[in-house]
Amino acid sequence: MAKITTKTLQQLTELLQSENLAYKKCCNYVNQCTDATLKEKLGRYADGHKARFEALYGVINGK
């Protein structure tokens, strides 16, 4: 695997933090939501953020 520069690692870390925050916000909105359709969509958004978080985490850890 190619070496990751400090700048790239910093950018990946920032993206990781953003995806984590977005995931937490979506989960919070799901818990507060009463509309079933909106709750389902927010859940899918949360799943997408979690998947991107895990993908970025894998890049950082070389997996």
Whether the CB-CB separation of 2 and 42 falls below 8 Å is answered with no
What band does 63 get if pLDDT is binned at 50, 70 and 90? Answer: low
pLDDT (mean) for 7-31 = 94
pLDDT average, residue stretch 33-42: 95
Alpha carbon distance 8, 16 (integer Å): 12
pLDDT (mean) for 5-29: 94
Phi, psi of 17 (to 5 degrees): -65, -40
- pLDDT above 80 for 15: yes
